Each structure stands twice: as C-alpha cells, then as structure tokens.
Homo-oligomer: A and B are copies of this chain.
C-alpha cells in the first residue's frame, strides 16, 4: 500500500468529528457498522476510531440511501466492489509475472 493510502487508513477520528464531517447522526453511523457497511477500529478504551476512508465510505452510504438503495443493496454493491478490486489485483500480478518472464527471456538471449 502506498504512503498516501496508509495515511488515509489511519484510524484517527472519534465518532464526534465523523458526525460533523458526514452530517450523519451517531445512531446512523453505528447502525451501518452493525450492518457491516463499515468496520472502524477501536482505541485503547474501546472507543471507535475512524479513518478518512471510513468517512468517504459513510458519505457513499449516505448517497446510496438517498438514492433509494436499501442497506442490503449497499452490502451487495460493496461486495461487488471488493470482488472487482481483487480481480483487478489478480490480473495485475498476472501481468507482472508474464512481463517478468518476458524480460528474463531478453536477458538470456537478447544481447
């Protein structure tokens, strides 16, 4: 993961600022967690800590709900996203492997 992605995944925000950032209520935020749409970390004393990515995701959830999607719909949307991300990742590492082979050939015969 890149430096930037790491930072965006740091669990640094308490629920209060997430509430302000998203204009959701804490009831809503916790409900979405119960339904596995987000999975914030917990700090030492057991309090939720959100990342900037979590905030993004909450805003997405809000949009989907506003658009009429149900929570189950959103679960599936996210599941699909995950599948695609994995697929993409797989195809990329396959590409890397085949390129490696190619370069190895060049190394052996091509000079």
Contacts and interface: CB of A to CB of B under 8 A. Distances in A.
Interface stretch (A12-20, A24-32, A85-93): A12-20
A13 B16 contact: no
Interface residues of A, number: 8
Number of copies: 2
Which of A12, A13, A14, A17 has most B Cβ within 10 Å?
Answer: A12
Interface of A is mostly: mixed
Nearest to A45: B16
Interface string A50-62: 0000000000000
12 contacts: A12-B12, A12-B13, A12-B17, A12-B21, A13-B13, A13-B17, A14-B14, A14-B16, A14-B17, A16-B43, A17-B43, A17-B49
